[in-house]
């Protein structure tokens, strides 16, 4: 199983699997951008994918459609429903004694994400050269 390896990276926002995933991690990087930013990205991505008929996951046949955008199965609707609830769950987890052993990095703005990635790249290149 991937979680048994010495090092690995996992992404995802499914909070119901936190007890399984977080049992074996040391650092959580939470990209917690504002609601309006998330909505803008969800809407523009959905429109692009519906227009181009790009598969959401290659080989699955799962494609966005304009019809689906206005249904209860819409990624846009889902993003609206879960944003605040997910933020509350992650904030509570960060404050929980159960996860006190974890290091949390909370990035709230796009610039903070870019700065963080630049810093990681700098550390990686420094480690390789030294």
Mean pLDDT of 100-112: 94
pTM: 0.77
Angle at Cα 129 formed by Cα 127 and Cα 130, nearest 5°? 65
Helices then strands, counting H and E runs in the chain, come out as 5, 2
Q: In terms of pLDDT, which residue wins out, 78 or 8?
A: 78
Whole-number pLDDT of residue 2: 65
Asked if 130 and 54 count as a contact pair (C-beta separation under 8 A), the reply is no
Please compute the mean of the pLDDT values over residues 100-106 and round it to a whole number: 94
Residue 116: what pLDDT?
A: 95
Mean pLDDT score across all residues of the chain: 89
Q: Where are the domains of the chain?
A: 2-114
Which residues lie closer than 8 Å to 47 by C-beta, 6 or more apart? 69
pLDDT surpassing 90 at residue 107: yes
């Amino acid at each position: 199983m991937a979680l048994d390896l010495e090092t690995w990276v996992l992404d995802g926002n499914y909070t119901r699997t936190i007890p399984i995933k977080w049992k074996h991690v040391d650092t959580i990087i939470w990209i917690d951008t504002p609601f309006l930013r998330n909505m803008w990205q969800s809407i523009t991505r959905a429109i692009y994918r519906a227009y181009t008929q790009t598969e959401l996951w290659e080989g699955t046949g799962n494609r966005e459609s304009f019809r689906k955008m206005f249904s209860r199965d819409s990624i846009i609707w889902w993003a609206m429903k879960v944003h605040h609830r997910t933020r509350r769950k992650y904030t509570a987890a960060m404050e929980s004694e159960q996860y006190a052993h974890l290091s949390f990095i909370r990035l709230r703005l796009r610039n903070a994400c870019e700065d963080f990635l630049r810093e990681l790249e700098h550390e990686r290149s420094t480690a390789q050269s030294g």
